[in-house]
Structure formats: C-alpha cells, structure tokens
Chain A
C-alpha cells in the first residue's frame, strides 16, 4: 500500500475507534440506573403532587448536607423520573455565592446569610427551609485510650487556639479523670473552605466560653499556623483518619460513615454527652424559632442535649424566574421535608421537630414565579 493511503487508513481508524467508544458510552449510560436500593423506604411514600415534572435543578453548598442531598436525589428519581437534581458540595459559603450569582436554583447553608454577603443578593427575598439537624463531633485519632475522650468548651478553645499542644496536658486530663493520656503532639484539623460547620463550631465556642475564645465566629477563621486544613467535612475527616494525634471538627454523619471516634462534650447542664441522633433532637427541642425559620441550636439547654448541635437550611429565592422552576423546587423541597425526614436518623442526622417541619412545609407555598 502506498504510504499516503496507509496514513489515511490510520487516521480514519483512530477516528472510528474514538467515535465507537463515545457512542457506546453515551448509549449505555443513558440506560443506567442508580443502584442504591437501600433507599426504597423513602421512595415508596408519595407526597404532595403526582404531576410529572421535568427539568433540571442545580444546588450547591454545605457539605454537612451532602449525604442527605445525595441520598435524596437518587431516591427522588423514583418519584419524579423526568427531573434531574444536582448537588455540588463546596461549603456553605460557595452555596450562597452560587445562589447569589444565579448559578444554582437552591443553596445548602448551615448559617444564615452574613451581613457582609447581603448585598450580593440584590435585595431579593431569600427563603430559609430548615432540612436537617445534627451534631458537630470533635473527632480524634488517638489509640490506646481506655474510655472515649471527654472535653469541655474551654479545653476545646485552648486546643484550637494552639495553646494546648500535647495530649497529656493537665487541662485535658482534668476532663478525663482516671484515663492515661499519651504524650503525642496534637495536630488540629480545620476547614480550608468557607464553611457553615466552622461558623457553628466557632459560635459554640464563643457562646460557651467567651473569655477563652478570641477568634470570633465566622465561616472562615484565622486558625493558628500549625493547623492543617481539609476541603469540606470529608477532607477534614480524611485528614484526621490518616494523622495519628489529630483532632478536628466533623459533622456526625460524615464522622460516623468514616469510622472515626469522637469525644463527649460537656453541655450547659454540666453533663458530658456523646453526639447522636437522640442528643441532637434533645438540643433542637428547646430552640427559639424566628418567623423566617432561622435559629441556633448550639449551646442549648437540656440535660441530654448535645451542646454542638447545628442545623442546615435550603435557601431559595421567593420569586422564581418561571413556573416550572417554582414547581420543581416545591416538589423537591417538599420531598426533603417529607419522606426524607424519616431517613434522617439512619443517615446520621436528627429529623426536624414536627412543629418546625410543619412550619417549613407551610412556607413552601411562598415559592412563586
């Protein structure tokens, strides 16, 4: 064969192979199904409208909500098969940014819009829909302890400000009578991204021990220079898991799923309470809820309340650009407030108190186009 023809055959061959691969991938992935059969419980319940909607909803934000959102998205497929919902985690800060720049339809945020970010929303009303409650754990990587660790707020403040640097410090020992602590140096792990978990964790420290905590409460904190940072709750959990002597703050759902050990924290009543779905519900019972459905669950009262319980909202604009978006949001958020609440416990969250759930469901009607 003359050389020119050989070259042409080669080019055509390569192109054909590439096209074939592409077609194969496209056609087979269009018929793929989500294989998470464990969520069949939620999919069987039918909620509000049975009207078939179609379209795409995009959301982003809180990594605390990630497991909740991802599970809801795959089981929502059986309720509304023609709707596609996407949730990209990136931290509460990113969610609020994406919502204000119009990139997503809804945001997941563990904190309310701070004053500094209000201007980004250009005066449009944002509705808050609480969807989950859960504990922030102090997860640690320390072997050879006879009992799980116990910590109080001033000690935590000392650790995270770099003042307490070794595990066998007397302040930690005071919280843990009878336990021999190793002399390992402490590595603190924090969030590198703008995070609602950070904001609630620092709010807890600011409220519980204002005299010892000097770094304020915000989505990003100027941590001591020795702190190691991770991206998202998942990144912090990974870092703790792979670093002996590390301690960091991770939401309960991610900590449990990663197999981390966490400490019991001294609450307002003076009891050391371990994080769990029940202790988070106990903390949520006593909160004061504002008319806009915002509240703070940290440092609540209650003998069995877990002191670092926090919450997360879905934020949407009250006025949607078109009727289909409004209907899709109502359907999806209604699903989160309805059947998904029964699944919260198994995912590592606490379901909303029923009064709060009812108020939130009633607020759904405000979404209009």
Chain B
C-alpha cells in the first residue's frame, strides 16, 4: 500500500491510539476498536493458516525429515518425497513467465505509449475479460479442446528434433497433450492480466516531462521507451513479474486438469508431469494418515514460497514507487 496518508484532524499524527485513552463517547471508541479488530483479522488469518497447516503436516516433516526434498513419491509404500512436485511448480511457472512477461510488458507499453486514450478503453476491456475467465473454464477448455490439438504439434516438434542434443532432451518424446508445457501455456494466459495491469500502473507513473524531453532530443518512440521509461519503471515491472510468478505457482484447478498427473522429474517439457497445487487438489480427498500429512506439508511449502515471493514483490514495487517520488 502507498504510504501517502492524510493528516487526521481529529487525532494528531501518530497518536491514533492515544485517542483511545481520551474520554470519548463509548460508541466512538467501540467503533474504533471494531475497525482495528477487522484490520487485525488479516494478520490473524495469515498466522492461523501457517500454524494450523504446519501442525497438521508435522507428522510428515518429522517422519521424513530432509527426505521430503527427495524425488521419492510412492504412497503405497509410505514414501513421500516431494521433489517432483516442487520441480513441476518451478518448471511450469518458468514456462509461463517466459511466455507471459514479454507479452504483458508489450501490451502495457502499447497502452501507455502508443495508443491514444480513446482506443485504450477497448484494449483494457479485453484484458479485463481475460482476467474474468475462471480458472476452471481454462481447465475445461484446456483438457477438452486445447490438449488434443496441441498434442499433434508436440509430436511433430518431437519428431523434428530427434537426435539434436539439447533440443531433444527438452522437446523430444514422450509427448502428451497434458504436460508441463501445456500447463505452462495455460498459466501464461492466466497471469498476463495481472502483470499487464500492474506494469501499466508502474509505467504510467513515469513523469511526462521525461518522455517529452526524450522526444525533444529527437528520439524515436522506441528510444524514448529505452531511455526515459525503462529506467524509471524497471523496479516496478520486476515487482509485477514477481507477482505473476506467485500467481503462476499457486494456480490450481486449470493446472490440475491439464498437467498429466505424473509425479516425475524429467527435462522433457512435453511429458506429463505434476505440480504442488495440482497434487493437493487431485489427491487430498482420499488421503489419510501420513499421506494427508504429506499433502498438507506440500501445502505449507507452497504457502511459504508464495508468501515469500509476494513479500519480495510488494517490497520491490513499494521501493521503486518511493524512489520515484523522491527523485
């Protein structure tokens, strides 16, 4: 949140809580306490999430210790090493970012630099429409329409790269419509709105005078973007990308439907895989005992990763906003 606040005439700056100690009407004081309680609810919920899920997962952590980070997932034999899922989350998120970030920044620049204001409204509506499509509809379309269609493309690519050293291990067989790469593509569609809108906000705060200065020196639009816009906004855009990363890691339902449900670590991006959020969604209903604790533990890890990435992202955005204001 922005740190710009208004001076509050009823209570001198910084003494909001001192006001509680003064003699004020009971209704006024209780309203303030109520509002404070609702605000604290956010922190309370976050702490409760961390505590309750870790508690449920404790038997997994204690039974496996550091083996939770091994690639050894075999519920029938009571083995619950979760590395395959961490790998899957990382890979699908990276694929999604590689595709979504250039596109999102491109659209953000299009909206702020190229397109006149009248034409920007329809484009913004299209981006909003992209954001409003629910995750489960992406998954439905993905598994019924997209996956069978793209499987043909995967097979052609795989047969085309057989034998070529690096490309074969990335894009070679086995291929499946439901795979890491398909999940990555669908995730890219889903994170584009958030990265675009946040980048656009950041880029829009670049002072107009810098842009005009660059144009005055005879720069083309591209040179102006490179010289005036980018240095100002790169911090904020990095923050936006990190937020997109957090969203890509946590997106569950669409991924659960199109990822192929195979707990394996492989370099073949067209092969079926699995991912932390997807395994919880697919397997939690039937799990008991240590299996359930393991899935809870994977949830705890996912929570920890996304919280850390979100904290870094928000801090980066805030820091670049602050620097810009001071500049």
Contacts and interface: CB of A to CB of B under 8 A. Distances in A.
Chain B CB within 10 A, most for which of A101, A223, A228: A228
A320 interface: no
Interface residues of B, number: 28
| Secondary structure of the A contact surface, majority rule | loop
B148 A187 contact: no
A220 B76 contact: yes
Contacts of B144: 238, 242
Interface stretch (A38-46, A87-95, A172-180, A287-295): A87-95
Given A90-B286, A238-B143, A242-B151, 12 more contacts: A91-B286, A100-B288, A192-B283, A194-B286, A216-B76, A221-B76, A225-B262, A226-B272, A228-B262, A228-B272, A242-B147, A242-B177
Given A94-B286, A238-B143, A229 B260 contact: yes
A222 B272 contact: no
Contacts of A216: 76
B103 to A, nearest CB: 28
Interface string B35-77: 0000000000000000000000000000000000000001111
Nearest to B179: A228
B173 interface: yes
A117 B287 CA distance: 11
A194 to B, nearest CB: 5
Given A216-B76, A220-B76, A222-B74, A227 B272 contact: yes
Interface string B148-182: 10010000000000000000000001101110000
B326 interface: no
Interface residues of A, number: 35
A222 B144 CA distance: 27
Given A228-B178, A228-B262, A242-B148, A94 B285 contact: yes
The 4 closest A-B pairs by CB, nearest first: A94-B286, A229-B261, A225-B264, A192-B261
A229 B76 contact: no
A218 B74 CA distance: 11
B285 A90 contact: yes
B272 to A, nearest CB: 4
A226 B283 CA distance: 19
A112 interface: no
Contact of B176 (A95, A223, A243): A243
Given A225-B264, A228-B176, A220 B75 contact: yes
A264 interface: no
Contact of A117 (B148, B260, B283, B288): B288
Contacts of A170: none
A271 interface: no
Contacts, number: 79
A238 B144 CA distance: 8
Contacts of A342: none
A229 B286 CA distance: 16
A185 B173 contact: yes
Given A90-B285, A192-B283, A228-B176, A222 B76 contact: yes
B282 interface: yes
Nearest to B149: A242
16 contacts: A90-B285, A97-B285, A101-B288, A120-B288, A192-B282, A192-B283, A194-B286, A218-B76, A225-B271, A226-B264, A227-B262, A228-B176, A228-B261, A229-B260, A229-B272, A238-B144
Contacts of B151: 242-244
B287 A97 contact: yes
Contacts of B147: 242
A139 interface: no
A110 interface: no
A194 B295 CA distance: 14
A239 B178 contact: yes
A229 B176 CA distance: 11
A286 to B, nearest CB: 29
A183 B276 CA distance: 35
Interface of B: 74-77, 143-144, 147-148, 151, 173-174, 176-178, 260-262, 264, 266, 271-272, 282-283, 285-289
A230 B261 contact: yes
Contacts of A229: 260-262, 272
B286 A193 contact: yes
Interface of A: 90-91, 93-95, 97-98, 100-101, 117, 120, 185, 187, 192-194, 216, 218-223, 225-231, 238-239, 242-244
A43 B147 CA distance: 41
B265 to A, nearest CB: 8
Given A192-B283, A193-B282, A120 B76 contact: no
Contacts of B260: 228-229
A225 B87 CA distance: 14
Given A187-B176, A229-B261, A243 B148 contact: yes
A98 B283 CA distance: 13
A19 B144 CA distance: 35
Contacts of B75: 194, 220
A331 B56 CA distance: 39
A101 to B, nearest CB: 8
A91 B176 CA distance: 24
B288 A97 contact: yes
A218 B77 CA distance: 10
Contacts of A244: 151
A218 B283 CA distance: 16
B77 A222 contact: yes
B286 A97 contact: yes
A193 B280 CA distance: 11
Contacts of A185: 173-174
Contacts of B77: 222
A93 B272 contact: no
A115 to B, nearest CB: 12
Contacts of B271: 225-226
A162 to B, nearest CB: 10
B261 A93 contact: no
A93 B284 CA distance: 11
A221 B263 CA distance: 12
Contacts of A193: 282-283, 285-286
A216 B264 CA distance: 20
Contacts of B178: 228, 239
A226 B285 CA distance: 25
B32 to A, nearest CB: 25
